[in-house]
Amino acid sequence: MRRQRGQSLFEVVLALAIATIIIVAMVALASSAIRNSNFSKNKSLATRYSQEATEWLRGERDTDFDAFFLRAANPLYCLKNLNWSEATIGACTDGQEIPDTLFKREVGFTRNTVLVGGLPKNVVEAEIKVYWQDAQGVHEVRSITEYTDWREI
């Protein structure tokens, strides 16, 4: 009987199965890395949009605290752009994303009066929420800042 050289059909199928498993694992790993990269990029952008709103509100407070305090009587605004004329009262709806992005930005206000040295002082707490939705669900970045009229004596 002659000995045959080469691979049996079983060995070839086994080698192809192992190669396929390795390729599928590499594709899954690459897909996960891309998804994580996109999430990190979006979280970074959302944080930037939140900080922009915080700075804009600080400027509004510095311009006219009394007007700022009155605006804060509405508990929730959707801030598509950073100006009051385009702000809408209430939660953001479809089509109210920050221009050319997938992010929505809301600011919620709480007004308080506290005693400082026996005198009343108005305080506005602003909670800024920037959120977006992707294949993994809804994600958000939140920040809370308290604003006072620092020029009051």
Q: What is the mean pLDDT for each group of 10 consecutive residues in the chain (153 residues)?
A: 72 90 89 86 97 98 96 97 96 96 98 91 97 94 96 71
Cβ contact 110:125 at 8 Å: yes
146 forms beta bridges with 125
Is residue 2 in some structural domain? no
| Residue 23 CB-density burial (10 A; 0-12 exposed, 13-18 middle, 19+ buried) | exposed
Please tell me the predicted confidence (pLDDT) of residue 49.
98
152 Cβ contact partners less than 8 Å away, ≥ 6 residues apart:
121
Is residue 78 in some structural domain? yes
Is residue 49 in some structural domain? yes
Measure the N-to-C terminal CA separation of the chain; round to a whole number of Å.
Answer: 108
For the chain, strand residue ranges (E) read: 76-78, 88-89, 104-116, 119-134, 137-148
Is residue 153 in some structural domain? no
Is residue 61 in some structural domain? yes
Cβ contact 106:91 at 8 Å: yes
Pairing of strands 104-116, 76-78: antiparallel
Please tell me the predicted confidence (pLDDT) of residue 145.
98
Is residue 110 in some structural domain? yes
In which domain, by residue range, is 88 found? 9-148
124 Cβ contact partners less than 8 Å away, ≥ 6 residues apart:
61, 68, 69, 72, 109, 110, 111, 112, 146, 147, 148
Please tell me the predicted confidence (pLDDT) of residue 29.
87
Tell me how many domains the chain contains.
1
Is residue 4 in some structural domain? no
61 Cβ contact partners less than 8 Å away, ≥ 6 residues apart:
68, 124, 147, 149
Is residue 3 in some structural domain? no
Please tell me the predicted confidence (pLDDT) of residue 87.
96
Please tell me the predicted confidence (pLDDT) of residue 45.
97
| Residue 77 CB-density burial (10 A; 0-12 exposed, 13-18 middle, 19+ buried) | buried
